[in-house]
Structure 1
Amino acid sequence: MITYQTMHKDQAHKLLEIDRSEYIDLIYEIRNGKLLEIHSGHECPTWTKEMIEEIQERFLFELDNGGMVVGALDEDRLIGFGVLAHKIRGRDLNQLQVDLMYVTRNYRRQGIGTRIINLLREEAIRRGAKFLYISSTETRSAVSFYKSNGSKLTNEIDEELYRKEPKDIHMLIEL
């Protein structure tokens, strides 16, 4: 049975339980305000030691600064998580970012990510946000997931997030 819970700092080690690997058949680029498909055809491995350290750092940073993390567990094993960042964004200061969002490989396409994003959405509304800001990896699976959960491309690209990940696809989900 899968359960969902708010995660805490002492659970950062559990992020190692996520298998982020996937076969990437295509990626997207934004050109003239539209998504352009680019065929890829490669396997993306799970996290390296350096990557998991960065993910854990971001997880802890957000929790230390008022962000929130939702985890999905199958018994005691972490199978998915999403991080709602603490920083208010947007021209009108009405956006909260989904900073990290992963579901382990063997549990994808079962509604787990949608349940996590909905819990993050509820928390963002409680905090007064009008939008979730998404800076998504450019893979078809990630972009399709966010689109299926109501996201749309945004013209108001957050410069800080763009500088961090210039290939990301920037979207908003209206709350």
Structure 2
Amino acid sequence: MISVSQMKFEDSFRLRDIDRSETIDLIYKCKNGFLEEIMAEHECPNWVEDEYNEIISRYEHELNNGGTAFGAYNGDKLVGFGVLANKFRGKEHNQLQIDLMYVTREYRRQGIASRILDALSKEAIEKGAEYLYISSTETESAVKFYSSHDSRITSEVDEELFEKEPNDIHMIKRL
């Protein structure tokens, strides 16, 4: 049975349990607020050491600065996680960003990401946010996941996040 609970700073080493690999058949590009489908057909490999170090560093930075993380566990093994960033965004400063969200390959399509998103949403509401800001990878699986959870393309793209990830699909979800 999978349990979801809040993670601590010291849990950062557990991120190495995640296998982010994925077969990607379709990606999206956002043009003038509309999604354009592009056939991709490639295998996205698991992270290499430098990428694990970068993800762990982002996780630790957010948790050190007031962010929150939730993990999904099968016993002691981390099988999914999500990080809610600490910085309020948007013109009204009423948006909190989902900084990281991954479910390990063999555990996908079991409702785990939905449970993590729900926990992050509740935390964002408690912190006073009205929206989640999502800078989603352009993959079909990620965009369809967020879209199926009432996220939509935002008309107010966060410039800082766009500069970091210009190929991402920038979305917003009302809480």
TM (normalized to structure 2)? 0.99
Please give the root-mean-square deviation of Cα atoms over the aligned residues, in Å.
0.5
1:128 aligns with 2:128: yes
- Mapped partners of 2:58, 2:39: distance in 1: 30
Taking the aligned partners of 1:28 and 1:45, their CA distance within structure 2 comes to 19
Distance in 2 separating the partners of 1:160 and 1:48: 26
The list of structure 1 runs, each at least 4 consecutive aligned residues, that deviate by more than 4 angstroms after superposition, is none
Partners of 1:150 and 1:32 lie apart in 2 by: 20
* Aligned residue-pair number: 175
Please give the alpha-carbon distance, in whole angstroms, between the structure 1 residues aligned to 2:148 and 2:159. 25
Segments of 5+ residues of structure 1 without an aligned counterpart are none
Letter of the aligned partner of 2:128 in structure 1? G
What is the TM-score with the length of structure 1 in the denominator? 0.99
Report the secondary structure of 1:109's partner residue: coil
| Equivalent AA in structure 1 for residue 87 of structure 2 | K
Q: Which residue of 2 aligns with 1:109?
A: 109
Tell me the residue number matched to 1:37.
37
Q: Structure 2: state its 5+ residue gaps.
A: none
Which residue identity lines up with residue 64 of structure 1 in the other structure?
Answer: N
Shift of 1:48: 1.0
**Matches of 2:26 and 2:84, distance apart in 1:** 27
Q: 1:107-165 CA distances to partner (integer Å, 9 max, x unpaired)? A: 10110000000000000000110000000000000000100111000010000000000
Please show how residues 10-159 of structure 1 align to structure 2 within 5 Å. 10-159=10-159
Letter in 2 for 1:95: Q
Letter of the aligned partner of 2:68 in structure 1? Answer: M
Q: Within 2, Cα distance between the matches of 1:58 and 1:144?
A: 24
**How many percent of aligned residue pairs carry the same amino acid?**
57
